[in-house]
Amino acid sequence: MARTIAEIKKEMTDAYISNSIIRDIYGITGDADFDSVFSPVSIESTLFYIFAATAHVIEQMFDQFKTDVEERIDANIIPTVRWYHSSALAFQYGDPLVYDPEKYQFRYSAIDEAKQLVKYVAVKDRGGSIQILVSGDEGGLPCPLTGDVLTAFKSYMNSIKIAGVILSIQSMKADDIRINATIEVDPMVINASGIRLTDGSKPVLAAINDYLKGIEYGGKFNKTKLVDAIQKVEGVLDIELGECAAKAASATEYNVIKNNNYTAVAGCFILNSLETSLTYVV
């Protein structure tokens, strides 16, 4: 922000009056400041005012230039993965886009969060295309977008995207994941059925579900982190993780997760038959 004329003049006069040569020329002694030595209408004061006023105008010009540049930057689309992510979340079902000739882009005439049905987004740059996975929300969990919503969303994204960019947009049911494990528990806390003695809850099941819910949409299932989540449960003494397998909702067979990580085709996970795939030993 541009300094005032008075601020600029004071900086200059303070430096001027503290110069030893100037003090000798004018016979200045003690703690005298510029205003106590020079009259406001003196040649020295007038010259410093002119210099300060000139500097003030230049600083104002630079401020305006900075503002103009920032406005031009804001007016241009920056087609990053983050931009596609935020744009997908901004989709409003049922509202038409309007073209803004000043910013050369489409936008909504008014923001209505109640119409923003896309709640989960994962964007990946595939080199020749951009992959976008999206889901709505049902009971706090990701759910596929319905036919009309997905069609409208695809039209919206193709309207705002950068020319020449190919978008691959999908909204699918969560991948099924199957977890087998043998869990050693303290019989004074958890019984052989996995039930907590004090309240009748099933803390291991809850820990696994919480871990899966906590995976970022489009993120990876990690066996090590799953084991860590289970071991944090009070009453769990040890865990032997068995075979873990997963399949996309459209697939017919499960594939064993041989490595430590698995990325869901749909961007999210649901558990399959967890009640019968966990074995508790005391």
Query: What is the mean predicted confidence (pLDDT) over 262-272?
Result: 88
Domain extent listing, the chain:
5-75, 81-170, 175-281
Query: What is the mean predicted confidence (pLDDT) over 99-111?
Result: 87
Concatenating the DSSP letter of every residue in 144-191 gives PPPHHHHHHHHHHHHHHSPTT--EEEE--PPEEEEEEEEEEE-TTTB-
- What percentage of the chain exceeds 70 in pLDDT? 98
Is residue 134 within 8 Å of residue 105, measured between CB atoms? no
Q: Which residue has the higher pLDDT, 243 or 101?
A: 243
pTM given for the model: 0.63
Quote the tokens at residue 175.
């991948």
pLDDT at 234 over 90: yes
Q: What is the pLDDT of residue 31?
A: 86
- What percentage of the chain exceeds 90 in pLDDT? 71
Q: Which residue has the higher pLDDT, 133 or 69?
A: 133
Q: Which residues of 173-203 are buried (b: 16+ CB within 10 A; e: fewer)?
A: bbbbbbbbbebebeeeebeeebbbeeeeebb
pLDDT at 74 over 70: no
Residue 34 C-beta-side C-alpha neighbours within 13 Å: 22
pLDDT digits (tens, 9 = 90+) for 153-207: 999 999 999 888 999 999 999 999 999 999 999 999 999 999 999 999 999 999 9
Concatenating the DSSP letter of every residue in 28-57 gives --TT--HHHHS-TTSHHHHHHHHHHHHHHH
Q: What is the pLDDT of residue 75?
A: 61
* pLDDT level of residue 240 (50, 70, 90 thresholds): very high
pLDDT digits (tens, 9 = 90+) for 8-23: 999 999 999 999 999 8
Q: What is the chain's alpha carbon radius of gyration, rounded to the nearest angstrom?
A: 33
Residues 6+ apart with CB under 8 A from 140: none
pLDDT digits (tens, 9 = 90+) for 7-65: 999 999 999 999 999 988 988 888 888 998 899 999 999 999 999 999 999 999 999 99
Is residue 246 within 8 Å of residue 178, measured between CB atoms? yes
Mean pLDDT for all residues in the chain = 91
CA nearest neighbour of 276 among 199, 173, 178, 133: 178
* pLDDT level of residue 256 (50, 70, 90 thresholds): very high
* pLDDT level of residue 76 (50, 70, 90 thresholds): low
Q: What is the pLDDT of residue 195?
A: 95
